[in-house]
Amino acid sequence: MKIDLSEISGKRQYQFVEKFNYIREAGTKGEKKAANEILRYLEKTGLTAVTEEFEFPAYEIMEARLKVTQPYEKEYRVIGYKKCGNTPESGIEAPFLYIENGDEISLSYAKGKIVMLNGPIQKKTYQKLVSFGAVGFITMSGTPIDEGEDLKPAGYSLRGVKEPPVQGVNLHYKDAVELVENGASRVRLKLQQRQVTRVSRNIVARVEGLDKAEEILTLSAHYDSVPQGPGAYDNMSGAAIIMELAGYFAKNPPRRTLEFIWFGAEEAGLCGSRAYVRTHEAELARHRFNMNVDLAGQLIGGTVIGVTGEAKVCQMLSYLMHEAGMGVSFKNDIWGSDSNTFAWKGIPAMTLNRDGFGMHTRYDTVELISSCSLKRSADILLYIAKNLSQAEVISFEKKVPEEMKQRLELYYEEI
């Protein structure tokens, strides 16, 4: 199919991203401000948008402290692990041991100790810490060349563990070095947090199909950011691409129905897409394919399409990209983004992804974004969406391989 890409503007997308150069952590005023701005943009396209609010659990760290008590005394700046419970109010004090990557030989010495390991900590390693009798843990983030604001430790969550018995904190790499060099032998750790309920929202706009309206294709991206930075690359650039295509299809109605979705609270555990499939459960039988964008806009890098579905989907998309002369690589696997949620519900899905720098850091700003890269990714997605929405018959079944389904079930159990 011959497609005129001249209506797609990289400059317009870049200007969109510029409007959101602020932190949009899920459930905060920043995220709500962004939702309202997206609604204003949609008004200009002439599409009717619906705001779908949802609640999600969040964790607030009330107090996180780490103090070396022997052979010297010093308190270090730390950030507590969310979702890993609370220590006693007085904290816990125990011998200190650095166990590097948590190998089983080192772990054999962990009983009764507060251990430090190279982080962040994942479920399997955490379970080993518990089974070997560790009473607390410390991980590290950052690099030995960091200065100033970059000396702040990263914030992490413990995922997939119910009623965790062992608590932990994260500190900066340089402080971890100091602990080891100075021979820290005993430390006191304290962590207090609480679970709260926050509100986020998805924004949904629909272009009804002309003669195959009963079949629905979704185009999606999340618009929230992590608290560390404004998330231009992750993922306001993706939100800009979806907005650009919404404007295009508002003027060029497709045969199939297209739904454009801006998800909230993705960084909090794909909360927006999970809320969407709950809200739209009755019509999921009509959904044929999800086209998600997560990480976009940087000029230097590689473009990847991650497909969670049968290999035939990759083959079809590869054919389209060869036809268009657009260089893309493919991965046929589950993907750590909102496309997973559709596949979890049996709807084949893809995420369009661009390599880049600064994800989940304060460096993820609009200054690293390129209008040329935005246009190229939008062109790729338009080529795919136009072909699928106009085809007489979609060439692949609505099917997700059983092996992927099983992995997705585990994935959502651990979020």
DSSP codes joined into one string, 248-289: HHHHS--SEEEEEEEES-STTTSHHHHHHHHHTGGGGGGEEE
Q: What's phi and psi for 157, nearest 5 deg?
A: -120, 145
Q: What is the DSSP letter of 225?
A: B
Q: Round to whole Å and give the CA distance between 230 and 298.
A: 15
Domain extent, residue 152, equals 72-184
Q: Round to whole Å and give the CA distance between 281 and 273.
A: 12
Say if residues 139 and 118 touch (Cβ distance below 8 Å).
yes
Peptide bond between residue 165 and the one before it cis (omega within 30 degrees of 0): no
Q: How far is CA 415 from CA 122, 293, 295, in A?
A: 12, 20, 20
Q: Do 153 and 302 belong together in one domain?
A: no
281-315 per-position pLDDT tens digit: 999 999 999 999 999 999 999 999 999 999 999 99
Say if residues 173 and 140 touch (Cβ distance below 8 Å).
yes
Q: What is the pLDDT of residue 366?
A: 97
Q: What is the pLDDT of residue 415?
A: 82
Q: Do 366 and 325 belong together in one domain?
A: yes
| pLDDT above 90 coverage of the chain, percent | 97
Q: Do 356 and 231 belong together in one domain?
A: yes
Give 57's strand partners: 197
Q: What is the pLDDT of residue 369?
A: 98
Q: Do 47 and 126 belong together in one domain?
A: no
Q: Round to whole Å and give the CA distance between 81 and 366.
A: 29
Where does a domain end: 156, 184, 212? 184
E strand segments, 173-324: 186-207, 212-222, 256-263, 287-293, 303-308
Residue type, 198: R
How many domains are there within the chain? 2
- Start-end of H helices in 46-170: 104-107, 123-131
> What's the length of the chain?
415
Q: What is the DSSP letter of 379?
A: H
Where does a domain end: 133, 161, 184? 184
Q: Do 137 and 46 belong together in one domain?
A: no
Q: Round to whole Å and give the CA distance between 274 and 55.
A: 11
Q: What is the pLDDT of residue 294?
A: 98
Q: What is the pLDDT of residue 4?
A: 84
Q: Do 133 and 226 belong together in one domain?
A: no
CATH number of the structural domain spanning residue 298: 3.40.630.10
Does residue 1 carry a pLDDT above 80?
no
Q: Do 333 and 212 belong together in one domain?
A: yes
Q: Do 213 and 163 belong together in one domain?
A: no
Which pTM does this prediction carry? 0.95
**Residue 21, domain member (yes or no):** yes
26-84 per-position pLDDT tens digit: 999 999 999 999 999 999 999 999 999 999 999 999 999 999 999 999 999 999 999 99
Helix 371-390 and helix 311-324, axial crossing angle in degrees, nearest 10? 120
Q: How far is CA 285 from CA 39, 45, 215, 217, 390, in A?
A: 27, 28, 9, 12, 20
Question: Which residues, other chains included, contact 177 with Cβ-Cβ below 8 Å and sequence gap of 6+?
Answer: 144
CATH number of the structural domain spanning residue 126: 3.50.30.30
